[in-house]
Structure 1
Amino acid sequence: MPMTRRLVLGASGALALPGLLRAQGSNPIRIGEINSYTSQPAFTLPYRNAMQLAVEQINARGGVLGRPLELITRDDAGRPQDAVRLAGELYNDQKVDVLAGAFLSNVGLALSEYAAQNKRLYIGGEPLTDAMVWERGNRYTFRLRPSTYMQAAILAEEAAKLPAKRWVTVSPNYEYGQSAVKWFRQILSAKRPDVQFVAEQWPALGRVDAGATVQALEQARPEAIFNVLFGPDLTNFVRQGNTRGLFERRAVVSMLTGEPEYLDPLGDEAPEGWTVTGYPGELVDTPAHKTYAAAYRQKFNAKPMCGSLVGYSLINSIAAGVAKAGTTETEKMVEGFRGASFDTPAGQATYRAIDHQGTLGVYVGKTALRRNEGVMVDWRYIDGKDLLPGDDVVRGMRPASAN
C-alpha cells in the first residue's frame, strides 16, 4: 500500500463503551498510524487488515462520541528518522487526533520521544522495549503489547524448571533484543542461582550470519539456548541449527517463535519441543476470539495472525480511551487512557495508570509439527497484569516527570 493511501471508514449506530453516545459533532476522529509495512510485512500487513476490520465494526455501531473513526497509515520502512518525520506530517498536515503504531522498538522509542517533546498522544501497538514505559516513559506515551519484561518473565519461569545449567543467548543487537536478554538473564538467575550464561551472540537485525552464529554457540557446549531472533533471521538460524545439530539434546527457550508469522515460513523445518511465546491463532476457542477470528477470516479469506490480534486490539483500545476521556483534547485523553479498560479477542485489558502499560497477556507453550507445519501446543494464556512488577518497582524505574 502506498504511503499516502488513507483508510477512511465511516458510519452510524452505537458501540457499547462508556461515553460513546455523547456526540461531539460529525467530524471524524483521526488516527495517524505509522508502521514498518515494507520492511516487516509478515507482521504489519495482517496488523493493518485487523485495524481496518476494527474501524469498520466500531463505525458500524456508531463510532466514538458519535463520530466515525478515520485511519491514516504511513510506512516508516523501519527507520526511526522517517517515523518522526511522518509523525510531524500526520499531526501538522493531516490534523490527526491520536498517533499510533510502530513495530521495531527503536522506532517506537523515537515516536515516544516525539510525543513527549510535542505533547501529543502516542499509543504504541507492537514495540516491546520496556524503556518505552519505564526508564524513558513519558506522560504522552502508552503501550499495548506485552513487553520484553513480561515475555521474558514467563519464559524464565519455564526455563527454571529445566535441569540445564549452561545457557547461551542469541539476539538481534538493538533495543528489543538487548532488553529481552537482560531480563531473561536477571529473572532466571534469581530463580536458579546455579545457572551460568557461557556465551552470547548479537547479530545485526536482518543480517545474521547464521552459520557462524550457530558454530559459535555450539563451541560454548551449552545445555540450553535462549533465542530472541525473529523473522528471516530466525528462519536462517533454525535451518543452520538443524543442519549442524545445534538443537539436538538441548532445550531451547524462544521469544515470539510461536507466532504464525515466524513459524509458517519454516514449514516442515519448524522446530519441535521449543518453549515459546506466540499466538495459537484459531486454536483459541473462547467465544470472543471465535467471533473475532470468524469475522477476520470472512473479510480477508485468511487466518488471523499475531499481528492481526495486536492491530484489532489497538483500535479497540483507542476507542475505549477516547470514549473514557469524552473528548479528543490531548491532555484530557491522557487522563482518559489512564486506567481505561477495553475488550480484545484474548480478553479484557487495561492501560495501567502507573506506567501506561497495557495488560494484554501472553500465550506460552511448545512448538510442534502438525501436517508438516509448525504450531503451538500445550499452550496457556497468562493475563498481562500477572506478569508485571509491582508499583514500587515501577516507581523506581519510571521518571517522576512521566506522570
Structure 2
Amino acid sequence: MSATVLSRITLILAFVGLFIAGVLSLSHVLNVVPPCGGGMGCARVATHPSSKWGGIPVAYFGFGAYLSLAALAWARTKAVLGRPKLLIQVGWAISAIGTLVSVYLTYYAITEIRATCIWCIASAITMALIFFAHALLAMAPDEVTPVRLDLRLPWVLVATLVLALGVEGKLLRDSARVNPLGGSNAYLGFDRAFFVPVNAHMLGPPRAAVTIVEFGDLMCPSCKKDYPELLDLMDKHQGRLRWVFRHFPLYKTPGHEMSYLAAEASEIANEKGKFWDFLAAAYGLPQESVHDAGPYLAILDTFGFDRTDSLNRLAAVKPGEPLFERVFSDADAGRALGVKLTPTFFVLAKGVNPLPCTFTTLKAALEEEPYAHLLGPAAAGGMQAPPKGMDDGAGQ
C-alpha cells in the first residue's frame, strides 16, 4: 500500500477518533451519559474514579492524542514535507501508547468495573488501526513523488467533525440520560450503612439482593411521575428488591417552597407507620394547589392526627428537634454523596460499587448485569399499589 493511501487512512482514522473522544469529552462537560446501545456500561465507566486522571477526564487526553495524530497526518500530506521518518515515528509512538492505554482501560472496565462501554471499545479499535497504519507506513517504500493529498479533504473532515459534534452535543443535552451527580464521585467514599441508615424508610425485605436508595422531594414533579413506575418495579421484583426513600427537599427552588414542611409532615405520619401512605397522598396532590400547610394537614387528618396539634408541631419545628433533624440528616447525607437534583437514585448490591442513576438509567441498569442476575425472574405475584398498610421497615 502506498504512503499516500496510508497517510489518507491515518488522517481519516484520526478524525474518527476525534469524534469518539469528542463525544466522551462533551458527556463530561454536559454531565450526561452518551448513548450506550441501550445499556448502562457507559454510565458505570464514566462515574468510576478510573475515568479521571488527576481530576481530568481520560477522554480529554484521548482527544489530545487524536488531535496530535491528525496534525501529524496532515503535515505528512504537504508536498514540501514528503514522507519524513520523524513524523511517522512520532505518530507511531503516540498511537502505540494510545493503543496500550486503551486496551488496558477496556480490560479494566470489563474485569474490575464489570461494565462494557461501546465508545471506549470503539476508541481502542480506532487507535489500534492508526497504530497498524503507522507500522505499515514505516515499512512502505519511498515514493518518487512526495506524498500528496487533495487539500479539500482535511477541511471536509474538519467541517464534518464540527457538525457531527454539534449535533451530538445537542442530542446529549436533550437526552434524558442525565448524570444526576454532575460527574462527582464523592459517593464512592461511603459505606453501605451511610446510604441506608437503621431508621430508613423502606419497602421490601431488609436483606433484598438489590436496594434502590432514592433522594426525593415531595413537591418534585419528576418524583411524582416516577412514583407509580417505582411501585411497578417493586411489584415486578417482589422479594428481591428494596426501595429506600430519603428526603432531599429543594425548598429554595421555585415551586418547591413547601417541600421541607411536607417532609416534616411525612415524619409525623411515620409515627403511626403511615409514611408510605403519606408519600402516595402527597404525590397525588395537584402541585398548584399547595401554597401552605393545609393540604398536608388534611392528609394527616385522614390518619387520625389532631389538626391543631399537627399545625403547632410543624410551626414549632427548629434545629435540634426530631422532625427537623430527621429531614436534615437525610438532606445532609445527600449533599455529602453529591446529590444535586431530585429524584436521584443509587443502586446498591453486594460486591458492586453504588451506581448513581436517574429514573431512566435506573430502569436500564436493573435489566443488566450484575443486577439482572441478582433480581432473577420477575415475581409471579404482585404488591398492591399504593402500598397501603405496609410496615415502614428498617435495616440493611
Give the number of the structure whose alpha-carbon radius of gyration is greater. Answer: 2
TM-score, with structure 2 as normaliser: 0.28
Q: Indicate the structure with greater helix content.
A: 2
Q: Indicate the structure with greater strand content.
A: 1
